[in-house]
Amino acid sequence: MKIPRLVQAVLTVALIYGAFRGLFDIVLGQPIPSSVLSMYMFFIVAGVFMVYTFTEESSRQLVAPIRALVEDPSRKGIRNAVFVALPLAAAAIVYQQMVPKLDAPLELRSIHPAPPSEVKIFGRRYDLLKLENPYRKVEKDDPAGFEQLIAEGGEVYVRNCQFCHGDKLDGKGPYAAGLNPAPINFQDVGTIAQLQESYLFWRIATGGPGLPNEAAPWLSAMPVWEEFLTEDEIWKVILFLYQRTGHRPRSWSEGGDEQQSSATGRNHSDAGRAVAPVAAASIGGAAAAPDSAARSGDGEDGEAVYLRHCIGCHGQDGDGLGPGAERLNPPPRDFTLGQYKIKTSAFDDPVPNDEDLLRMIGDGMPGTAMPGWADVLSRRQMLGVIAYIKTFAGLEQEQATTQLEYGSEIAASADSIEIGRGLFHEDDRCSECHGQEGKGDAVKKLRDDNGARTWPRNLTKPWTFRASNDPRDIFRRISVGIPGTQMPSFADPASTKKLSVEERWHIANYVHSLAKTDEVVRPENTVIKAARVTDAVPLSPDDPVWRQSEPVTFLLVPQILAGERLFTPSNDTITVRALHDGSRLGMLLEWDDRTKSIPGDPDAEKIADEDMGEDAVAVQMPVSVPQGMERPYFAMGDAARPVTLWRWSSGSADSPASVSLMTARGSRDLTGREAAVAGLEARGEYANGTWRVIMTRPLRTSPADQDLQITQGAYIPIAFATWDGSNGERGARHTLTTWYWLLVQRPAGALPGAAALAAFGLIVLGQAYWLSSVRRRRPADQTA
């Protein structure tokens, strides 16, 4: 059946619309901004109309169904339905277009901004057009020495760079998800393969604050590495980046096979062969054994893979003391102990199944620096690594002999969950460590078998589980325990807290039910919408009025950008709600914190690390709303673009909680101001592992030139920071977010409704005129 031309046009537009939505939602992982979609669809509709009306005949075919609908008396019923639906649809569309938009502003930035011709780094001026890596010449003159330089660059990388750029150099390090824009993927041929080494030297040394204006909006989390690394270390890490990814740097020079790169960034002499191997004991220097060389899965084959990918954290001897280990929390696994946390063999069988280790290597371990390697290594290569790491504990000949007994799985139900709740709290069986609501607010200090501080799992955040939160996986953890930690086996008959198989299934179902659903991080949610309320902004976090505000949850990442850095954070997310009453703004800040840190309080000090500080939270906004795309540097602003900081602290045994107001022009330039003068107030309360703090401030303050004037309907950059005092966080040691948006909503007013009514009326008048003209043209016998 031939499809009418009008239907073809409508289907074409619909398919293109769906393709745009799918591209952003599925491929890019976030929705397309409505403003961008509207712009694209305008040109698409215009283009489709031009194509389908290219000739006079095609134009007649396009409008033929419409003419038939209006002029054919036999289609009166359909015509009446369309003539009612059309003005209603037009009114609805106009209304939606006129209502104030709540999408985040569209941000455009240069990924690789043009470098300046000359820069000042390490107190010297460099001509970037002539600057070359001083160690590159060693590649020809002293191959063994060059391998050692790469190995030293690898150590620098794992100690400083893998937190964001990842062990796999793919831009997916443990903190990458909390950064916007995402860290660069060095494996992509569109990144360092297209750049000169002098460009990388400039970007690494000067970091995010060194970006030129065209790289606004100043979101880059790249630290100023000339403050932490030497010039030699930067050049060595650049060698490591190119060697590990198999790329060759581009060069400003003309010709020369060793300097001039191909279109893919690889040196011509490298085509068809592996990159030069590095000393076996180096950080990831040795080329990984190809799949064909690791077919047997024995330790000899796995050693090459281990030395390339694993040594940086787990160490050359498998003792968990690699160069990056001291900055990782939890610390890397010590394979010499022969203890493996996640296994399906029985609790009293020290040897895991190879499939357990294969799963951990392939999928990685959420909440740690251990990535999933399944996209890099083949199954044979991973089995080779497993065979090799077993040699560290002398288990190469050992296999698990007893397996976990699952019994008959009990499906989740209200009854099962309630039984599990009772067992969870009975005699503080689980709540002693995991808390009354499962948030990990332990009443005792926990350490693993190596003496390292450990925190009970927050069971309401299943995305942090080392294995999944599937009830079957939870059942395994309850039954087997987590060897090397204070998580016991509840299947152990010698334990006073032993549980039957059926009881363990009930607890597994209860733990699974604890997962939060409304306070999870959704990358597309970047705007905090402060809804208008009729009464004053509530000052109690339990007030039901707060439910009128949609909660938005953001990831927290440790401050590793400047000053005294934090590498072992405990807080990981913060949830924000906002309201305003037309004259005053209020924000409810909630974050899970396993400990209430009150210096001088004996109960708090029992489970705190040494030198406990206060718990605290801060809100950061620009002193003035920036015009265009430029914003202050997100880590406490900069000299040209200051920020205002609202900070609430939990207090100590000798002093109550307090609120402070500061202006920051960088991390080293803070000026305190009187919070009371600006009308800033805050109060907080702690319960069951969660802080809830309310901050309020007038929308307009005086004098206007000293603080942010909050305008309804404006998008205001906003960021947050938290301190866990029991984790030794104070001063620059804290967690933070990058910039997001605060929108203080203004009433829509009567304009959208009036515009919708006008559109409805115009369509109705147009339809009436058309029908009238058709009737005038009909012969007398058809109008009868």
What are the tens digits of pLDDT across the range 195-219? Answer: 999 999 999 999 988 888 766 666 7
Q: Is residue 231 part of a domain?
A: yes
Query: What per-residue confidence (pLDDT) applies to 37?
Result: 77
Q: Over range 105-123, report the average pLDDT.
A: 81
Longest Cα–Cα distance in the chain: 103
Residues 129 and 177 reside in one and the same domain = yes
Last residue of a domain, one of 211, 240, 270: 270
Query: What per-residue confidence (pLDDT) applies to 541?
Result: 95
Last residue of a domain, one of 270, 301, 333: 270
Amino acid making up residue 588? L
Q: Is residue 625 part of a domain?
A: yes
Residues 568 and 434 reside in one and the same domain = no
Q: Is residue 380 part of a domain?
A: yes
The average confidence (pLDDT) of the chain is 86
pLDDT digits (tens, 9 = 90+) for 644-680: 999 999 999 999 999 999 999 988 899 999 999 999 9
pLDDT category, 53, cuts 50, 70, 90? confident
pLDDT digits (tens, 9 = 90+) for 540-587: 999 999 999 999 999 999 999 888 999 999 999 999 999 999 999 999
Contacts by 519-523, CB closer than 8 A, 24 or more apart: 519/551, 519/553, 519/573, 519/575, 519/590, 520/463, 520/553, 521/177, 521/553, 521/554, 521/555, 521/573, 522/553, 523/29, 523/30, 523/177
Burial of 611 (0-12, 13-18, 19+ CB in 10 A): exposed
Residues 304 and 244 reside in one and the same domain = no
pLDDT category, 263, cuts 50, 70, 90? very low
Q: Give the three-class secondary structure for 467.
A: coil
Overall domain count for the chain:
6
Above pLDDT 70, what percent of the chain?
89
> How far is Cα 558 from Cα 555, in angstroms, rounded to an integer?
10
Residues 251 and 193 reside in one and the same domain = yes
Could you tell me if 439 and 534 are in contact, meaning their C-beta atoms sit under 8 angstroms apart? no
Residues 684 and 575 reside in one and the same domain = yes
pLDDT category, 283, cuts 50, 70, 90? low
Residues 604 and 727 reside in one and the same domain = yes
> How far is Cα 120 from Cα 74, in angstroms, rounded to an integer?
82
pLDDT digits (tens, 9 = 90+) for 393-408: 999 888 999 999 999 9
Residues 688 and 605 reside in one and the same domain = yes
Residue 19 has pLDDT above 90, yes or no: no
Q: Which domain, by its residues, includes 60? A: 53-99+749-784
The helix (run of H) or strand (run of E) holding residue 126 is: strand 124-127
Residues 301 and 355 reside in one and the same domain = yes
pTM for this one?
A: 0.82
pLDDT category, 290, cuts 50, 70, 90? very low
Q: Give the three-class secondary structure for 376.
A: coil
Q: Over range 155-176, report the average pLDDT.
A: 94
Residues 559 and 660 reside in one and the same domain = yes
Q: Is residue 159 part of a domain?
A: yes
Burial of 217 (0-12, 13-18, 19+ CB in 10 A): buried
Q: Is residue 385 part of a domain?
A: yes
CATH number at residue 635: 2.60.40.1190
Least confident range of 283-297, 375-389, 419-433, 644-658: 283-297
Residues 236 and 135 reside in one and the same domain = yes
Q: Is residue 559 part of a domain?
A: yes
Least confident range of 109-113, 235-239, 275-279, 747-751: 275-279
DSSP 590-605: EEE-SS---TT-HHHH
Amino acid making up residue 562? A
- State residue 681 phi and psi, 5-degree precision: -130, 150
pLDDT category, 254, cuts 50, 70, 90? very low
pLDDT category, 27, cuts 50, 70, 90? low
Sort strands 527-532 and 740-744 into parallel, antiparallel or unpaired.
Answer: parallel
Q: Is residue 285 part of a domain?
A: no
Residues 41 and 62 reside in one and the same domain = no
Amino acid making up residue 242? Y
Higher pLDDT, 274 or 201: 201
Least confident range of 18-32, 331-345, 467-481, 745-759: 18-32
CATH number at residue 422: 1.10.760.10
Query: What per-residue confidence (pLDDT) applies to 484?
Result: 84
Last residue of a domain, one of 490, 513, 536: 513
Residues 33 and 67 reside in one and the same domain = no
Q: Is residue 493 part of a domain?
A: yes
Above pLDDT 90, what percent of the chain?
53
